Copies of this chain bind each other. A is one copy, B any other.
Amino acid sequence: MSTGELDVVGVGNAIVDVVARTGDEFLAHHGLIKGAMRLIDETEADALYKAMAPAQETSGGSAANTIAGVASLGGKPAYIGRVRRDQLGEIFCHDLRAIGVHLAVPAASSGPPTARCLILVTPDGERTLNTYLGACVDLSPEDIDEALIGRAKITYLEGYLWDRPRAKEAFLRAARVASAAGRQVALSLSDSFCVDRHRESFLELVSHHVDILFANETEIKSLYQTDSFETAAQCARSQTGLAVLTRGARGSVLISGSEQIEVAAEPLSRVVDTTGAGDLYAAGVLFGMTHGHSLGESGRRGAIAAAEVIGHYGARPETQLAELTRRTLRPPAP
């Protein structure tokens, strides 16, 4: 790849999604909490997969979905994450390379298989995630390419990395390298249960290392242990340069110092599958911020990208987002 400046480098768990439709009773029968992500081991993954309906396989992974969105919007992104050299790993790498994403870490020739996330989509479009981390557990500080991080305007980190000690070290190294290079560090809180597991260290991280914080309403309320979105938003304002808070159908709020911008959600003809909605919203904002757009314009791009991915199964855009955004933002003919 060239050695020019990059917009965003994402660091995350490299995962193939295995998406199946299911009824609410399946979740109840297997003791699953709707809308949550839980980590499962290989044995559990095999048992749950066996019980699941026929599925579709698509590349996923929170930060990887965001990076795919940045590429689809016309940005220049790279990705740091670990797969095994197996068929799922090949699929994961292909789907990012095919849209021009530079992959920094080669596939491992030994160790656990490529990670998968068993995603159960209920009729309301909600998704319940069951992740077997596989090869992701071997992500380590040595995988953080300092030169690559230094070339990217923003280093984007997913909170899910915090679940594994070595990945957490890799995460911290990436954050430190980016800060030292005068670059921005962005964090997505990923999941309210992830926030619960790591609240203290996330709070420490946000106040010391994070320039841009992405969270949905549940996550930000969990981080600051409050029932009030407004209180949580004010805490985020005081602790980070830019807080980007999503509220589902109620749109999103971008808060930076004294500036506070509300962005409406895009109108949706139907909710098919919300998997990737937050990831793609982040893609729009990151693209906007690295291309000289205002907070409001960046948020609008996020809303457009999120709406696209909610309209179909799978967590990556099916439409070229650059073109979709142009069409959507074009002023109506007089």
| A interface, CB within 8 angstroms of B | 21, 49-50, 52-59, 68, 86-88, 91, 94-99, 113-114, 314, 316, 318
Whose C-beta in chain B lies nearest to the C-beta of A95? Answer: B54
* Bound-state Cα–Cα, A209 to B178, Å: 70
Q: Which of B54, B91, B95 contacts A99 (CB 8 A)?
A: B54
CB distance from A187 to the nearest CB of B (A): 26
Whose C-beta in chain B lies nearest to the C-beta of A87? Answer: B87
Q: Which of A56, A96, A113, A314 has the most CB of B within 10 A?
A: A56
CB distance from A13 to the nearest CB of B (A): 18
Interface of A is mostly: mixed
Also in contact, A56 and B88, with CB within 8 A (given A50-B94, A94-B50): no
Also in contact, A94 and B55, with CB within 8 A (given A87-B86, A87-B88, A88-B87): yes
Also in contact, A54 and B49, with CB within 8 A (given A87-B86, A87-B88): no
What B residues does A95 contact at CB under 8 A?
54-55
Copies of this subunit: 2
Q: Which of A59, A87, A114 has the most CB of B within 10 A?
A: A87
B99 near A53 with CB under 8 A, answer yes
* Bound-state Cα–Cα, A55 to B97, Å: 12
B54 near A94 with CB under 8 A, answer yes
B57 near A91 with CB under 8 A, answer yes
Q: Which of B50, B54, B68, B114 contacts A54 (CB 8 A)?
A: B68
What B residues does A113 contact at CB under 8 A?
87
What B residues does A55 contact at CB under 8 A?
91, 94-95, 98
Also in contact, A57 and B56, with CB within 8 A (given A49-B94, A88-B87, A318-B21): yes
CB distance from A41 to the nearest CB of B (A): 17
A316 near B54 with CB under 8 A, answer yes
* Bound-state Cα–Cα, A262 to B308, Å: 40
* 9 closest cross-chain pairs (CB), A and B: A57-B57, A54-B95, A87-B87, A54-B98, A56-B58, A87-B88, A53-B98, A56-B56, A86-B87
* Bound-state Cα–Cα, A54 to B17, Å: 14
What B residues does A114 contact at CB under 8 A?
87
Q: Which of A57, A96, A113, A316 has the most CB of B within 10 A?
A: A57
What B residues does A68 contact at CB under 8 A?
54
* Bound-state Cα–Cα, A244 to B297, Å: 56
* Bound-state Cα–Cα, A55 to B17, Å: 12
Whose C-beta in chain B lies nearest to the C-beta of A113? Answer: B87
Whose C-beta in chain B lies nearest to the C-beta of A99? Answer: B54
Given pairs A56-B56, A86-B87, A87-B88, 15 additional interface contacts (CB within 8 A): A50-B94, A53-B99, A54-B68, A54-B94, A54-B96, A54-B99, A55-B95, A55-B98, A56-B58, A56-B314, A57-B57, A57-B58, A57-B91, A87-B87, A87-B113
* Bound-state Cα–Cα, A58 to B58, Å: 9
